[in-house]
Structure 1
Amino acid sequence: MDRGDELDSGLGYEDVSHAKVTLKRDFLPWHKPRKQYIRSNQWNNVIGRLIDVLDLKSKARSLEYLSLPGPDLLDVRALYSTCAEKKVRIRFTGLNAIAVEDKASTMDQLISLDELRGLEFIDPSSGVHQDQLQRLSNKSSIAYQNVIKQAPTYDVINIDLCGSFLESPPKDEQNNYYEALFELLRFQADNRSDDWLFFITTRTNQDMVHVETFKRFVKVLEDIFDVDQAVYDKCNELNIFSADVLVDRKIDISKVDNLSFNNLVSAGIGKWVLSALTSQTPSFKSKMLKLFGYNVKLDPNSTCDMISFGFWCTKMPTKAVDVFGLAAGGVNLNSEDSEVAVSRCRVSVIESISKIVDVDQHLSNDEEFELALNSSVRLMKSARYDVISYVAWARKEHAKVMRLLAERG
């Protein structure tokens, strides 16, 4: 759903008069075409559907969007064309902790904010706040005050991490992603009625997942096998794990290879999000959407180790009867049974894992890579990057991945 040509006409750096702007030539991992492929084909595609479901255009309401945008605000720039096509404004809220001494990034973010706020389909009240997501559970933090206390709920939450949110030990007393994300998920469940989207991108390789967190994921999954036959059957049907890893409802950790490890972690993340949203009322069911992944470690023996997860979250009506016996009927008595709904969501996790889109493999097709590259070029141009240097860099990085795929056979 990418329409980068619209960005070209609306985000020109020549409009910024308060600073001298030069074209940038320092490129980062999330600048690669494969990341733009995910922005277009996972995030923007599903967000476009949500805009229609929520009927935001006829309601004349902005899309409430929370993310970790970085100084270039690339995710917002990419999403802009989708919202412009729908004629719906974006009201974005961002968290981005820039070091005081990093004047260049600070100026870059100010220019980006100036560019975006001047566009027709950007809500001018949008902003980026100087704090870390990990501090969200700290009630006195800038993050908490601006993301939760003084904010509405969000239509879309997009947590795009460079590393892993699973590196900390469970119940660590320090600020960490577990506390922050749980706070955010419960904020949505406790205060929202409409459908919403949750995206999280994280590393899943073994050296970036705390061993205790992994063990808890395994234990929870085994507990689910004991009570939900459908999930166990689906794991076996779709061969989620390598041979001898799953036997008689137990997971043999000693047999876990890279593929099984990633799939166990992916299942754990899906079950954790679902549990956070359904363990208490009000509750939301979270259907895991198609996963997208790629390789950060150029290791022939590894598999996708950066995975972008998506969840479509829908409120679960609470069934109620009058305990006094005065009312003959009840409320929501014909709604889906909560246990059935949760089981379906659990199964959706397994199904999504089995159908993950390996973006590196997909872009090994020359035509598909060129489409992704062209889309990425338009995005990078809008953010004031030197396009000629960018194309040379992107092709060089793509060649490394192609060599990796060839080595794997």
Structure 2
Amino acid sequence: MNSKETAIVESDEILAEIDISENPPLEFEETDYIDAVFSSDSGTQTVVSAPAIRTTFAPWHHPVKQIVRDYQWADLVKRLLTEARPENRRDRLRYFTLPGADLLDVRVLAESLSAMGTRIEYFGFDSGYEDEDNEGADLTGAYLLAESALRQAGSISDRAEILRDKLEDIALVGSHAAERLRQRGVFDVVNIDACNHLGYKPSGRNASIFEALEKLLAHQLLADEPWLLFLTTRANVTQLGAPAAKLQSAIMKNIETHQEGFAETLADCIGGKLATIATDMSGCWSAQSIDFLKLFCVGLSKYLLQWYHAQTNLPAKVELASVFAYKVSGEEPDMLSMAFRISPKGLAVQAPSAGGATPLPAVELAQAIGMVSKAKRIWNLDEAIANNQEVRADAVSGTERLLASANYDISKWREWLRNLPIRPMELNDAA
């Protein structure tokens, strides 16, 4: 085994050598960075040269994304720990993520949870920043510096790990990604922060983001405490793909079962009428608009609810906690950031009289109506950042603080914001 086939990974008690010849984790080629992070000689201090100031930016560096990080992810994670975990279970957050090289989501969560002394044990894949354009910047170095800072601050666990595999690979039986996921326990938070639509399949891959989502749902079936699912995805009428049929079917099943209860609420949500709901939905599915995003969100919510209802021995309550929308391209919002709270109900043991045949439980109308009501209150972040000065100020200051910690040039960032074709922002000194 040569040096490119071996990675040294640190755990709480041991250093182990793992064969990674086929699907290596992040390949750390700079020995100075390795010494700085893993420091095998406690008596020697390694001096790491200052990294170059970074001047190239990506869509997730826009302040609108900071609203998602602060108002959705950080807020809901903090509430999960304080409301659904005893004090002796708040010291560790088991977190599935698709971080960029700067670990921006981990940084935000670490700051939010610092008062509780929570250490983040993250696990995930680097597909989120593989195509990032940073004008030749050393992304491996950026990752190591970000991880080192978090480790020195006591914010992350020694078991924190990011692999080079694609998210979609976990849906492939026998793949390296699927096997490594299997070795992990359940997560407190699963964050699928995808840049593409649910049906997207990377080049050379046979599985989609949606199939990876289903794999993660199956992985989480052993959870015995409430957990959070964050899903950020492109939602465009021209990119619905294969999952669209499942989302539409989930809605139609509920309409057929609860014509007056669910259907009436849904019609009101999308600005339609009960008498014409089929036509109204057809129009929503074909035109990019906030109503389309509401319907898309309801479809995914209903699919998750029905997926869990099919697990007769491991049922769970599914709630749509919040849903945000913002623009990536065009004049209408086409990115959805949804948050679900999933509360396992415990193992359902059947009586011998059931004879092995247990009917599927009926779709719970109250949960379904609650999801529709929440989807109706979708938060348009483009409008919020343009019209709400408090939200705007929080988003700008939060992004500046985050990017400065990752060694970005803030003056160049402001220039980048000013010249964006979609949602440009002119910032004065007071932001």
- Give TM-score scaled by structure 1 length: 0.80
1:138 aligns with 2:167: no
Find the aligned partners of 2:166 and 2:153 in 1 and give their Cα distance. 27
Offset of residue 56 of structure 1: 5.4
Query: What's 2:377 paired with?
Result: 355
Query: What's 1:219 paired with?
Result: 249
Query: What's 1:294 paired with?
Result: 326
1:269 aligns with 2:300: yes
Gaps of 5+ in 2: 1-35, 37-44, 355-359, 427-431
The C-alpha deviation readout for 1:100-144, integer Å capped at 9, x for no partner, is x98822222222222222222321221111111100022433322
Distance 1:182 1:363, change over 3 A: same
1:282 aligns with 2:335: no
Query: What's 1:155 paired with?
Result: 188
1:180 aligns with 2:203: no
State which of 385, 392, 402 in structure 1 corresponds to 2:408. Answer: 385
Higher helix content, 1 or 2:
1
SS of equivalent residue, structure 1 residue 186: helix
Query: Match for 2:397: what amino acid?
Result: N
State which of 127, 130, 148 in structure 2 corresponds to 1:114. Answer: 148
The C-alpha deviation readout for 1:148-193, integer Å capped at 9, x for no partner, is 221110000000011111346xxxx91212221111101101x111
Offset of residue 250 of structure 1: 6.4
Q: Which moved more, 1:43-52 or 1:111-120?
A: 111-120
Find the aligned partners of 1:51 and 1:17 in 2 and give their Cα distance. 38
1:27 aligns with 2:57: yes
Distance 1:59 1:367, change over 3 A: closer
- Counterparts in 2 of 1:314-325, with a 5 A limit? 314-317=343-346, 320=349, 322-323=351-352
The C-alpha deviation readout for 1:31-74, integer Å capped at 9, x for no partner, is 11110111000110010011113435423641101110011111
Find the aligned partners of 1:252 and 1:140 in 2 and give their Cα distance. 40
Q: Which moved more, 1:106-115 or 1:354-363?
A: 106-115
Query: What's 1:126 paired with?
Result: 160
Find the aligned partners of 2:250 and 2:316 in 1 and give their Cα distance. 20
Find the aligned partners of 1:393 and 1:251 in 2 and give their Cα distance. 40
State which of 92, 99, 105 in structure 2 corresponds to 1:69. Answer: 99
Find the aligned partners of 1:121 and 1:178 in 2 and give their Cα distance. 31
What RMSD, in angstroms, separates the aligned Cα atoms of the two structures?
3.1
Kept in 2, the 8 Å contact 1:198–1:311? The answer is yes
Query: What's 2:398 paired with?
Result: 375
Query: What's 2:270 paired with?
Result: 241
Alignment length, in residue pairs?
Answer: 367
Offset of residue 30 of structure 1: 0.2
1:165 aligns with 2:198: yes
Query: Match for 1:53: what amino acid?
Result: E
| Structure with bigger RCO (C-alpha 8 Å, 6+ apart) | 1
- Give TM-score scaled by structure 2 length: 0.77
SS of equivalent residue, structure 2 residue 199: coil
State which of 223, 226, 232 in structure 1 corresponds to 2:263. Answer: 232
Query: Match for 1:25: what amino acid?
Result: T
Query: Match for 1:241: what amino acid?
Result: I
Q: Which moved more, 1:121-130 or 1:148-157?
A: 121-130
